[in-house]
C-alpha cells in the first residue's frame, strides 16, 4: 500500500497517495480566500499536473461547515479596481488549468458551497455533495458583486443558460437535492459517508 505524502501550505495541504491527490482547504472557518490562497492553489495544480502517477484529484475542506464561502469580502472591499480585475483574472486562469489538466478533479462538498466556493467546484470535473451540507449557490449579487470566477460561464455550460441566469440574478440558494435535480452536482450521499464515498469513487477511477 502506498504511503501518503503530505505537503502543508498556509491555506491548503496536498496529500498524495498512490494515484490520488487530495487538496485540503484550511484557509479559515469559512475558507474565505484572498490572493494568497489562489497562489497556493495555482502552485498545487501545477505540481499535480506534472506528476505522472496522479490520476484523480479530490478537493475537500478541512472546515466542518464550509467547502468555501468564496472570496473574502473585506479583502475585496479594500482592493482598488485594477487589483480586483487582475485578481479575478488570476483566479480564472488558475481554475482553467483544472480543465486542461490530465487528471480527473472531484469536488467533495461537505459544507456550504457558495459564491467563489461554488465557482471552484464548477471548475472540477465532478461534484459530490452530502445531503446535509447546507446551501449551494451564487448569492454575491446581494452584495452588488457579479460572479467573477466562472459563475457566468462554467455554470451556464453545466446547467443551461436560463437556469444559470436565474441563479446569477436572484442569488438563490439551493439544497443538495435541488442541486442534484438541476445537474449542478453529480451525486448526493448521506452526510456522514460523503468523503468515504467520494474516495471510493476516486479509487475506482484511479484503478482503471
Active-site annotation, residues: 119, 140
Please answer whether residues 21 and 58 qualify as being in contact, where contact means their C-beta atoms are separated by less than 8 angstroms. yes
Residue found under cell 478533479: 105
Strands 32-33 and 70-71, bridge-based pairing: parallel
Q: In 10 A of CB 203, how many CB atoms?
A: 14
Q: In 10 A of CB 21, how many CB atoms?
A: 27
Please answer whether residues 104 and 205 qualify as being in contact, where contact means their C-beta atoms are separated by less than 8 angstroms. yes
Please answer whether residues 10 and 26 qualify as being in contact, where contact means their C-beta atoms are separated by less than 8 angstroms. no
Amino acid at each position: 500500500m502506498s504511503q501518503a505524502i503530505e505537503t502543508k501550505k498556509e491555506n491548503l495541504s496536498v496529500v498524495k497517495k498512490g494515484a490520488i491527490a487530495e487538496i485540503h482547504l484550511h484557509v479559515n472557518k469559512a475558507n474565505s480566500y484572498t490572493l494568497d490562497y489562489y497562489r497556493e492553489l495555482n502552485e498545487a495544480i501545477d505540481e499535480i499536473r506534472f506528476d505522472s502517477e496522479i490520476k484523480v484529484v479530490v478537493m475537500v475542506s478541512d472546515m466542518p461547515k464550509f467547502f468555501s464561502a468564496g472570496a473574502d469580502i473585506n479583502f475585496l472591499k479594500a482592493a482598488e479596481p485594477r487589483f480586483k480585475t487582475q485578481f479575478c483574472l488570476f483566479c480564472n486562469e488558475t481554475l482553467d488549468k483544472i480543465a486542461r489538466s490530465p487528471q480527473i478533479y472531484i469536488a467533495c462538498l461537505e459544507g456550504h458551497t457558495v459564491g467563489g466556493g461554488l465557482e471552484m467546484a464548477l471548475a472540477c470535473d465532478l461534484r459530490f455533495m452530502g445531503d446535509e451540507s447546507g446551501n449551494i449557490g451564487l448569492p454575491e449579487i446581494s452584495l452588488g458583486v457579479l460572479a467573477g470566477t466562472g459563475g457566468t460561464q462554467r455554470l451556464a455550460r453545466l446547467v443551461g443558460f436560463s437556469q444559470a441566469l436565474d441563479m446569477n440574478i436572484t442569488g438563490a440558494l439551493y439544497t443538495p437535492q435541488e442541486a442534484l435535480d438541476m445537474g449542478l452536482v453529480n451525486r448526493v450521499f448521506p452526510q456522514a459517508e460523503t468523503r468515504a464515498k467520494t474516495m471510493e469513487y476516486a479509487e475506482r477511477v484511479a484503478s482503471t
